[in-house]
A and B are shown apart, each in its own frame.
Chain A
Amino acid sequence: MSRTITIDPVTRIEGHATITIRLDDAGEVADARFHVAEFRGFEQFCVGRSIWEMPGITARICGICPVSHSISAARAGDAILGVSPPPAAVLLRRIANLASLIQSHALSFFHLSAADLLMGMAAEPSRRNLMGLLADRPEVARGGIRLRQIGQRIVSLVAGQSVHPSWAVPGGVREPLPPSHREQIAALLPDGLAIVRAALGLLEEIYDRHGSEISAFGDFPSLFAGLVSEVEGELEYYDGVLRFVDAGGTVVEEIPPEQYDLAIAERAEPWSYMLFPYYRSRGGEADGGMFRVGPLARLNICDSAGTPEAERELVRFRDLRGRGRTVTGSFHYHHARLIEILHALERIGEMLDDPELLDLHVRSDAGINQQAGVGFCEAPRGILFHDYEVDADGIVRRLNLLIATGQNNLAMNRTILQIAGTFIKGGKFSEGILNRIEHGIRAYDPCLSCATHAYGRMPLRLFLLGPDGTLLDEAARQ
């Protein structure tokens, strides 16, 4: 008798989704799917808008990484104007993008995942959240709140406000950085560094607690993709080349990011509003051309971190799988996030000392000179592309948005299948096992910006389906 287990909604992720797990007649896992429940249609309703509006409109795709969208949209605009933004504008965009990464990663690690990592996957569900963590591990929870605040505060000091700043524009940014703001940013960095070092100190406890289970959380070979700096191959979030690396650490392809569509295509499935991007050349292979993006991918594809403390941590990270090996387990996304926060704080510190930072010239003026432009950056969750075609007046006629979370869609589905298959035996499962499956999604920190999707009155529904698919019985587990 086959059955379907539904998790609805998946909680403590940035968005709304459901998971269904299909069991075969023997009660073994046959299939698992991650359904994304909302679609808002930006690629359709932005047709007819001017490139000057695009940073402001597309920021509203996502309240967690609005800065990354506005920067990618502004950069598509740079290409359409045919200008290079002034050096100060580039520095400020880079700082805002890294600060946004700090707040987003802090949210993922502390607010959303730490309860699982430090209290246990099967901890009491009503306490397994930030509020429970505040009671159990107040120093960790308060540190996380403070670290996210530091990231948000730096975004505000550079761009005017923390969520949806109207700041990045085609040609540069709207405001230079006042000297007093530079001092305020500099004053925040030591505190941030102390918190992230303490969080790295929690890893031993986390790896001990979850020891034997870690390899069930999405450990499989795949391609990894993202930006690296052009010459040194360092961690890079704004420019450089788009690199694809395989699970053995071999560079498979390197292309200019503007030509992303030569390497990446997308397909649709009827059961999710999130498209499935894949690596074109391997689309016909068993894994469907799966690749992973984001913190784990960035640490796997770079040759070095480029800042001293993060470099030391990167070497330790790669030792997780033996010297210099690619880390293929998605559980390690959490660890990778902390290293990236460390790197971001170090890099921001370096850029604050750049003599061009306070220059008042932050915007290059021009009219519409090109009919198309691609803007990109590494968003917290991975590489993000905004690809626009415009008419002579700069009105968007076609656009493609390739969003980071979407690029992990194949890997997320593969991950929940692996976790479900490991823990569900003979049709038996518990709330703690279902939370492990959800945690497999949390590791990727997807930002789905999705609507609540909860039809049923039951937290979990089991459907017993006959061989012809008719509903024989329905049960709920409270």
Chain B
Amino acid sequence: MSGGKNGKIRFATVWLGGCSGCHMSFLDLDERLVELAEAAELVFSPFVDTKEFPEDVDVTLVEGAVTNRANLAMAERVRERSGRVVSLGDCAVTGNVTSMRNLLPTSAILAPFRSADGRAGSAFLDYTSVPELLPRALPLHQVIPVDGYVPGCPPDADRIWEAVRALLRGEPVALAESMRTFG
């Protein structure tokens, strides 16, 4: 543990290819968020204004599958700069609904993006403005090594709290069997 300001744990949450439901479930910690704020500093998250993933993060929870080039770059940066990385929710753990597109080629997925003159998909999109889709959406551990898993769609707040408490204590995430269900 490198520890941040006031010896607090440097804590981050990231969301990749998912629906943000895991982040909503994280907010369902409700009053426990106050307890978390006392023990940890939220150094990067959709809920704060840090623009760049910082160095020396102790714990990062990652929601979502790796579905485009920006996710891929982010996943690698998260791994490089975090002590422990945990897959939060079924999309990060298995690919889940985000990977349902894998049944189709990306050209079919991008069909709605077309111009009047008939250019479609990759020929139409400007990849300097938006990230290119990968051929397949992947679970996080197929892209970077992962230190723990919190399954569920979404994992409920009690499950997330159990994992967060272990992480704050520097222990591995070892959920009870009843907390290791999918869906």
Contacts and interface: CB of A to CB of B under 8 A. Distances in A.
B111 A12 contact: no
Contacts of A277: none
Nearest to B42: A131
Interface residues of B, number: 60
A271 B28 contact: no
Interface stretch (A59-67, A79-87, A196-204): A59-67
B154 A164 contact: yes
Query: Which 5 residue pairs across A and B have the least CB separation, nearest first?
Result: A63-B21, A459-B51, A271-B129, A41-B109, A60-B97
A103 to B, nearest CB: 8
A8 B74 CA distance: 13
A14 interface: yes
B7 to A, nearest CB: 17
Contacts of A272: 129-130
Contacts of A164: 21, 153-154
Interface in A357-375: none
Interface stretch (A144-152, A285-293, A328-336): A144-152
- Counting chain B CB atoms within 10 Å of each CB, the highest count among A38, A107, A129, A271 belongs to A38
Contact of B154 (A9, A40, A63, A460): A63
8 contacts: A41-B109, A45-B100, A60-B19, A63-B18, A63-B154, A66-B21, A152-B28, A435-B49
A153 B42 CA distance: 26
A454 B52 contact: yes
Interface residues of A, number: 68
Interface in A24-60: 33, 35-41, 43-45, 57, 60
B70 A447 contact: no
B53 interface: yes
B34 interface: yes
Interface string B63-101: 010011011011000000000000000000000111011
Nearest to A9: B51
Nearest to A272: B130
A45 B21 CA distance: 20
B70 A163 contact: no
B182 interface: no
B104 A44 contact: yes
A451 interface: yes
B124 to A, nearest CB: 6
Given A16-B15, A44-B101, A64 B20 contact: yes
Given A145-B30, A272-B130, A163 B49 contact: no
B23 A63 contact: yes
Nearest to A69: B19
B48 A12 contact: yes
Interface in A135-172: 142, 145-146, 148-149, 152, 161-164
A37 B20 contact: no
A45 B109 contact: yes
B143 interface: no
Contact of A131 (B27, B48, B74, B133): B48
A454 B71 CA distance: 8
B166 interface: no
B14 interface: yes
A111 interface: yes
A456 B67 CA distance: 18
Contacts of B108: 44
Interface in B1-32: 14-25, 27-28, 30-31
A14 B16 CA distance: 12
B131 interface: yes
Given A45-B101, A128-B49, 15 more contacts: A11-B47, A12-B47, A36-B130, A41-B110, A62-B21, A63-B18, A63-B23, A131-B48, A145-B33, A268-B114, A270-B115, A452-B70, A452-B71, A452-B74, A456-B52
